[in-house]
């Protein structure tokens, strides 16, 4: 039994090959088939006629490491199709966080997420993203 069948779309698989008509079958959290399939047998059918169907996108330049700890489901990014973010860009990262930069991170991140307890040695919490990016030196 399929949980989801995305039917009638043009599959763009990221390989560089042109898009092709195909259906995408999902069981649990896995894509189990990418081929023309009948709708029968799927718990949910999504009509993708006229739409592109693609795997998640990678945001290669994100500063989400400052906000993901406060918004861990990243709904706005997921709704845009992003499934991976590269963080620690531009020489800035909240971890490891030096005592000199701690207040800057707290103040900046508080503009978009609820105030968090930033720990310079371990990030924010066990569920926070880890980044090894360097801290920007203070002037």
List residues near Zn ion by CB under 5 A. Answer: 89-90
Q: Which residue is nearest to Zn ion (CB)?
A: 90
Q: Which is nearer to Zn ion, 17 or 60 (CB)?
A: 60
* 107 burial type by CB count under 10 A (0-12 exposed, 13-18 middle, 19+ buried): exposed
**Distance between CA atoms of residues 132 and 109, nearest Å:** 18
Q: Which is nearer to Zn ion, 23 or 59 (CB)?
A: 59
Q: Closest separation between CB of residue 91 and Zn ion, Å? A: 9
Q: Closest separation between CB of residue 6 and Zn ion, Å? A: 33
């Amino acid at each position: 039994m399929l949980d989801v069948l995305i039917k009638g779309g043009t599959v763009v698989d990221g390989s560089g090959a042109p898009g092709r008509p195909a259906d995408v079958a999902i069981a649990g959290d896995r894509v189990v088939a990418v081929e023309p399939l009948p709708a029968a047998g799927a718990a949910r059918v999504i009509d993708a006629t006229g739409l592109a169907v693609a795997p998640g996108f990678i945001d290669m330049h994100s500063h989400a490491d400052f906000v993901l700890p406060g918004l861990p489901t990243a709904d706005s990014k997921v709704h845009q199709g992003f499934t991976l973010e590269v963080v620690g860009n531009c020489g800035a990262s909240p971890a490891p966080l030096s005592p000199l930069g701690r207040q800057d991170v707290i103040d900046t991140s508080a503009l978009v997420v609820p105030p968090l307890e930033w720990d310079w040695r371990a990030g924010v919490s066990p569920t926070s993203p880890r980044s090894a990016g360097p801290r920007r030196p203070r002037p």
